Amino acid sequence: MKRDLRVLTAVGALLLTLSTAHAAFAQKRGGVLKIYFFDSPASMSIHEETTAAGQGPMMGVFNNLVLYKQDVPQSGLQSIVPDLASEWSWDEDKTQLTFRLREGVKWHDGKPFTAKDVQCTWTC
């Protein structure tokens, strides 16, 4: 009888824990996420900052034309994958790189992502 009561108590505690954990996954929109970060970036410009402190926080904000596979421990030419570019190619002299942009990409306001947006990243 005592054994049955202990098993029943353990199962009840497990169910309570699971239902509490399930509630934590039911996230609501909005709010503020606060996390510890080891440094304060000098700016939010991914073109001007070169350290992990400047690049890391912005990875969740900006997309790239291409990026390194995040699950590969060593970055190299073989681990480059598309992000906003669907494909890319070099000209015969290896002096010009052409990107084909992924279709259907929109900005947060619903406007389409275009080649002019990429150009502005470098010239505006």
**pLDDT score at 71:** 87
**Strands 80-82 vs 85-90: parallel, antiparallel or unpaired:** unpaired
Kindly give, in sequence order, each residue whose CB lies less than 8 Å from that of residue 100, ignoring residues fewer than 6 positions away: 85, 86, 87, 88
Local confidence pLDDT in tens for the 124 residues of the chain: 555 545 445 545 555 555 545 555 667 788 887 878 888 888 888 778 888 888 888 877 888 899 888 888 888 888 999 999 999 999 999 999 999 999 999 998 999 999 999 998 878 7
Tokens standing for 62?
Answer: 């900006």
Q: What is the pLDDT of residue 23?
A: 53
The reported pLDDT for the residue numbered 101 is: 96
Give pLDDT, residue 82: 94
Domains of the chain: 31-62 (no CATH), 63-123 (3.90.76.10)
